[in-house]
Amino acid sequence: MEADTPSDPNASSPWGSLEPPPERERMFNAPLPAVLLAASMPALYFFQARAHTYWLELSFAPIDLSQGRYAGLLTSMLVHGGWAHAAMNAVAALTFGTPVARLFRGGVGLVVFLSLYIVSGVVATLGYGLVHWGSSDPLVGASGAVFGLIGAATRLTGGGGRVQPLTNRAVITMSIAWMAVNVVLGLIGFAPGSEGARIAWEAHAFGFLFGILAIGPLARWFAPLPNRTDAGKV
C-alpha cells in the first residue's frame, strides 16, 4: 500500500507558518561611523555656543601659515559659524559619508574613513590658506572635509559599491556640476547657514579634489575585494 503524501507541515501546524517572516529592511541603515561623524557637529557646536571665547582660538587664518601656526588646519574643522552651518554640514556628512563608510569595514575601515575625512579637511584649509596668503580673515567649519566625502562619494555613484574610474562619464558630469554650484555660491555669497559670512569655495574645491583622487588608492588598499574592481583604473 502506498504511503500517503505528507501534507504541508506549515498548513497543518496549529501555529501557522513555521517559516520565519521575511526580514524587514531597516528604515535607517546608515553606517555608524557616518552617523557619529554627523552627530559630532551639532554636539560640538552646542558646547561652542556656550563657551566664553566661542572657541574662536580654534579657527584658522591664512596669516597663520606665515607665522608658523598650523594647528588651525585641523582645529578649524571643529568650529562652526552657527546652528544652521553645523546642521548643514552634518546632513551633508551623513548623506555623502554613508556610501564611503560602507566601502570600508571593520576597525581598519573606520580609521580609513576618518582619515579621509580629516585629511580632506586639512588639505582644503591649507589650499585656502595658500590662495589667500597673508589674510587675517578667520575660517571655520568642516565644509572642506565634507567636500572630501562628496568627492569620494561621486566616484561611488552608480558603481554598485565599487569605485568608478575618473574617466567615467557620470563621474565627470557630477564633478563639473558640483564645482559649478560651488563656484556660483561662492561668488554670489549665499548658502544656507552662511549667515552673511564669506563662503570659502576654494576650500571646498581643494577638499573635493582630494576626496575624488584619494578614494581610488584607498579602495585598492583597504576595501573588500569585491569592491575594488574598478578602483585600479585611477
- The pLDDT, as a whole number, for residue 116 is 98
What CA dihedral angle connects 230, 37, 80 and 70, to 10 degrees?
-70
Query: Does residue 17 form part of some domain?
Result: no
Query: Does residue 41 form part of some domain?
Result: yes
Query: Does residue 62 form part of some domain?
Result: yes
Query: Does residue 7 form part of some domain?
Result: no
Cell numbers representing residue 80 in the block: 562652526
- The pLDDT, as a whole number, for residue 27 is 41
> Helix crossing, 83-103 with 106-131: angle to 10°?
130
Output the pTM of the full model: 0.84
- Buried/exposed 116-128: b ≥16 CB within 10 Å, e otherwise: bbebbbbbbbbbb
Query: Does residue 90 form part of some domain?
Result: yes
Spatial separation of the C-alpha atoms in residues 144 and 131, rounded to whole Å: 14
Query: Does residue 4 form part of some domain?
Result: no
Give the number of domains in the chain.
Answer: 1
Q: Of 101, 104, 108, 128, give the one whose Cα is nearest residue 203.
A: 128
Query: Does residue 14 form part of some domain?
Result: no
158 neighbors 164 (Cβ within 8 angstroms) = yes
Per-position pLDDT tens, the chain of length 234? 444 444 444 444 444 444 444 444 344 689 999 999 999 999 999 999 999 999 999 999 999 999 999 999 999 999 999 999 999 999 999 999 999 999 999 999 999 999 999 999 999 999 999 999 999 999 999 999 999 999 999 999 888 889 999 999 999 999 999 999 999 888 776 655 555 567 899 999 999 999 999 999 999 999 987 665 555 455
Q: What is the CATH number of the domain that holds 123?
A: 1.20.1540.10
- The pLDDT, as a whole number, for residue 158 is 85
Query: Does residue 26 form part of some domain?
Result: no
The range of the structural domain enclosing residue 73 comes to 32-222
